Amino acid sequence: MDENPRDIRIQVATSYVAEQSDPDSDRYVFAYTITITNNGAIAAQLISRHWIITDANGKVQEVIGDGVVGKQPHLNPGEKFRYSSGAVLETPVGAMQGLYKMKAADGITFDAPIAPFTLAVPGLLN
């Protein structure tokens, strides 16, 4: 079987930012670092992002925009791009998921899904 020429791997690390949070005001700040790796056989550029952020009350925020952190990184096969950003929730637990719209060097546009991940104040979940 041929390897997928368009294979983007996305890894996520999250942390709670206590010094920017204010639980008494229902403000919980989380940071996340995303590592995007082009495991495919063809170069690709990240064109846009679409995030769905859900808090424990079921409130959904959608974030759609060009690139990430003001950039539209171009990844050759084997290259990685890492960036950090954040989200503010009204609850101490929430989740994020989404996708990156990618454009391969052959002109084909494809989605790189971002699997759901949890944002949680440490010690809250077992």
Confidence of residue 123 (pLDDT cuts 50, 70, 90): confident
First to last CA, the chain: 41
63 located within any domain: yes
Count of structural domains, the chain: 1
* Tokens read off for 31: 């940071």
2 located within any domain: no
126 located within any domain: no
Which domain covers residue 17, as residue numbers?
A: 8-117
pLDDT tens-digit series, residues 65-111: 999 999 999 999 999 999 999 999 999 999 999 999 999 999 999 99
Q: How far apart (Å, rounded) are the C-alpha atoms in residues 103 and 1?
A: 23
125 located within any domain: no
The answer to whether the beta carbons of residues 70 and 62 sit under 8 Å apart is no
Q: What is this structure's pTM?
A: 0.91
pLDDT at 125 over 50: yes
124 located within any domain: no
Encoded amino acid at 32, one letter: Y
1 located within any domain: no
69 located within any domain: yes
- For residue 1, what pLDDT is reported? 38
107 located within any domain: yes
Comparing 49 with 6, the larger pLDDT belongs to: 49
Burial class (CB in 10 A: 0-12, 13-18, 19+), 57: exposed
The chain-wide mean pLDDT, for the chain, equals 94
Residues whose CB is less than 8 angstroms from the CB of residue 10 and which lie 6 or more positions away in sequence, other chains included: 34, 35, 36, 37, 100, 112, 113, 114, 115
Encoded amino acid at 5, one letter: P
* Tokens read off for 4: 């997928």
CATH of residue 94: 2.60.40.1470
